[in-house]
Chains A and B, each alone.
Chain A
Amino acid sequence: MPRTASKPTKKRSKPYTVTSSDTDPVPSASSKTKKSSKENDEKYKLFNKYANTSSGVIDPEGIEKLCSKLKVSHTDIKILMLAWKMKAERQGYFTKAEWRRALKALKVDTIKKLKKALPELEKEVRKPLNFADFYAYAFRYCLTDERQNCIDIGTICQLLDMVLGSTFRDQVDHFVDYLKIQNDYKVITMDQWMGFYRFCNEISFPDMTNYSLELAWPLILDNFFEWMREKQA
């Protein structure tokens, strides 16, 4: 059987549109008001406190410092939410533009104000429309490579716990157990990742009476379903 020609690798189109919109103001050279430039200055000053001076970005070390200042653990979901607000592209690093984007949107320019703004941010992110986008973002954020499109099981388990642990404790616990013992998949794709989110939202748990193998659920969830049923028997 002749093989289908392999497609040229394309730029991955994001299947989930970003709903939290905030367009960055185009810095126009001429009409910068004194006030905005002053505000930016504050943000940049703050940025520079945590940035790595040689690379010009906040690196993992800087983020740790930031976290301790904010009195949150660096595995706390709020940091990920902050990254989302920043639209940070690279895990572990914040650029100047990203930093400014978030702080501007949150209307803060000091650590104290930022700390105060975090609970508000969490509330905003947890709104259903935003959360789907945030959930997808969380996956992309963990991709370490431009060409990579899947994440290893270990990281996924941690990510699930962080992102969905508070809202879907039961499902996450069982699914994580399953992921650890199964052998079919060593990595998880974006499709499977989003599939699990839909699963949590649509399927009653743990009875899963409205689940069906005939539907279009990703195969890994079919296997998970069968595994759960066996356990329940």
Chain B
Amino acid sequence: MSSRQNPEPMTIEEGCKLIDAAVTKLTRIIEGKPEPPFASHEYIGNYTIVYNMCIQKPPYDLSGQLYEKYGAIFQDYDKDTILPSIMEKHDEYMLRELSRWSDINKIMVRWLSHFFYYLDRYYIARSGNSSLTVVGMTCFRDHVYEKVHFNVKQVVIALIHKEREGQQIDRALLKNVLDLFVQNGMGNMERYEKDFEDFFLTETNSYYSRKASRWIQEDSCPEYMIKAEESLKKEKERVSHYLHSDTEPKLLKNVQTNLLVLVAKQLLEKENSGCSALLRDDKTDDLSRMYRLYHEIPEGLEPVAVAFRLHVTAEGNSLIKQAEDAATSGIVEEQVLVRKIIDLHDKYMAYVTDCFQNHTLFHKALKEAFEIFCNKKVAGSSSAEMLATFCDNLFKKAANDKSNDDSTIESTIDNVVKLLDYISDKDLFAEFYRKKLARRLLFGRFSDDHERSILTKLKGQFGGQFTSKMEGMVTDMQLGKDQQTGFEEYFKNTNTGKPKGVDFTVTVLTTGFWPSYKTSDLNLPLEMVNCIESFKAHYEIKTKHRRLMWIYSLGNCNLTGRFDAKPIELIVSTYQAAVLCAFNNTERLTYQELIDQLNLGHEDLVRVLHSLSCAKYKFLKKEPASKTISKTDSFEFNSKFTDKMRRIKVPLPPVDDRKKVVEDVDKDRRYAIDASLVRIMKSRKVLPHQQLVSECVEQLSRMFKPDIKMIKKRIEDLISRDYLERDTENPSTFKYVA
């Protein structure tokens, strides 16, 4: 390049002429018109023109004017060439034009930036003006984009609608066009958002709103969900194909709101196909889909969980009602009911773990549902009692029927422990269970393994205090066996007072572990008295300072009845045995004589006599032979009795102690509430009423749900016993009295 020697400074007019020529050539090239490309000397020449004009000495330093010229080039080009071309076209063609001209513009910016490069380096740097690239692009934005974007947007949205309706469209074109929107934001997404995205989302909103209204009417829940899932998938694809990634979350939220959130209630509650029906009919796929769809939405799972809970509650309630209806004469079939509830639990827990991915919301819903119906009474029996009876029957059967598979017993035990969690009166269950456990243990109908297994599981779930007494009982039985061996050893060695021909077993129970039983001053037959005395002697040797309290009501006895036809072995309770043995000495006894001789209470004697003379086996003849016992009856040994069996078991029906159990538990609850209140007040010293009540309820909730009125009563009792007092200034606050 040779610099001119002292040339005449070029004026702006002269320069512009040259530049214009170059520009014309350039535009022809980039517009694809036949035009030879720039030769390298032309290229350099163009650069030089600008360079020279810039370095000329003032007043001929034309940088500023050149800068403006640069801007003007673009302006003119945009206004005169680009814009009209685009405006001529419509629809897709307009988009293509826009895309084409945008590319052209970019090339032009690049080329001209090269020509005017010197400006960029010095003038712009010094003056702080926008760079050449920015000027070029801004021009395009202001003179082209601004004028066409509205229409372009309309076209784009129309195309998207077409695609939504299933037609093919030119995705690449849309991508280019939308990229344009982004680019014209000049660094931020405002243009894209304001000029396109907002409209797009509004359109999407009404589109899916319409679809939702139609589908919800026409389709079943599973069908609808499939369509919803499909729609979401398609929209996601749409983003990857031509929308900006920023749009994705807004778009999906839009679709979800319309298709899933606004219609949630209608969808889930659809008759015959909604959540309830799906649960009922084991439609795991559909339920999984439901979970997937609603999981994406914040708080979207809540209506599903509610529907789940309502359904489970309804199912449970209907089981309860069935049992209530089937309970003839007030006796409820708890075996059936508890089994059904266990099955219900397994079924719906499976849904929670599989379809609902173990989500806490659904665990909670299941729990709440079960807590509602598991605490209902059926024919007067509380659920606590029913569950205890269920266990009783389970273990009694298992002890007899060794063929029962241990693992099924174990899994049933697990289920029982789970169910117990839902029952609020856990202490009531413990009491019933303890009573029945006592009978099982004492009448030999238990398996040590099973008993220990359930106690371990209960302990694990509810704490040691819950099971301590019951564990003590089972241990007593274990110790009892050892003790019995010791007792028998005693006789072998000492040979004193061994009762003639009577095998005698004693089980020593630790008071406190076992339920309390009434003692009675039953007059035993002589043979039994000897047994008792000899055991007493033995026990006194072994342990001092312990008092034995004999509970004859729990004992049982094997007698041989010497009937005329054949002797039959009778397995009866001690009371029954005592009555029967009374007839060893006399043929006939009146009721009154029996009372006097045996010293039994009337209630007990009536029960016993009924079982021996009015029930299935009539060992005694009753006069008069009516169905009930009256105090004027007399009895005789029925020597004519016989049966095909050689051994007969005559169970004495246990007295219904449900009322007593409930009373005992109520009493214990009162103590528990007292203790809890004192404990709380002792540590807090001063506490307002409501907080005291709620803390007390919280503390006791593991065992039972305390009645608020009962708590209030206990508080008042504690006040009158000077444990607590009301604050004089604030009577709804209590103070601990040290």
Interface residue ranges, A against B (CB under 8 Å): 1, 3-4, 7, 10, 12-13, 15-17, 149-150, 189-192, 194-195, 198, 214-216, 218-219, 222
Contact = CB atoms under 8 A, between A and B. Distances in A.
Contacts of A189: 716, 719-720
Interface string B687-712: 01110000000000000000001001
Contact of A198 (B688, B709, B713, B731): B731
Contact of A222 (B672, B678, B712, B733): B712
Contact of B690 (A198, A214, A222): A214
Given A15-B728, A191-B719, A198-B731, A219 B712 contact: yes
B712 A215 contact: no
B546 interface: no
Contacts of B668: 1
Given A3-B671, A198-B731, A15 B725 contact: yes
A213 to B, nearest CB: 8
B726 interface: yes
Interface in B487-528: none
Nearest to B670: A1
Which residue, A13, A191, A195, A216, has most C-beta atoms of chain B within 10 A?
A216
Given A16-B728, A216-B689, A4 B674 contact: yes
Contacts of B726: 15, 191, 194, 216
6 contacts: A1-B672, A13-B737, A189-B720, A191-B716, A194-B726, A215-B689
Contacts of B91: none
A214 B721 CA distance: 23
Contact of B709 (A12, A194, A222): A222
Nearest to A10: B722
Interface of B: 668, 671-672, 674-675, 678, 688-690, 709, 712-713, 716, 719-723, 725-726, 728, 731-734, 737
B723 A7 contact: yes
A8 to B, nearest CB: 10
Contacts of B732: 215-216
B716 A7 contact: no
A4 B678 contact: yes
Nearest to B732: A216
Contacts of B723: 7
Contacts of B734: 216
Given A216-B734, A219-B712, 13 more contacts: A1-B672, A4-B678, A13-B725, A150-B720, A189-B719, A189-B720, A192-B716, A194-B726, A194-B731, A215-B732, A219-B709, A219-B713, A219-B716
Nearest to A4: B675
B666 to A, nearest CB: 12
Contacts of A150: 720
Given A215-B689, A216-B732, A1 B722 contact: no
A173 to B, nearest CB: 24
A219 B720 CA distance: 13
B52 to A, nearest CB: 94
Nearest to A17: B728
A16 B726 CA distance: 10
Nearest to B724: A191
A3 B670 CA distance: 10
A191 B672 contact: no
A4 B717 CA distance: 14
Contacts of B721: 7
Contacts of A3: 671
A136 to B, nearest CB: 11
Nearest to B714: A219
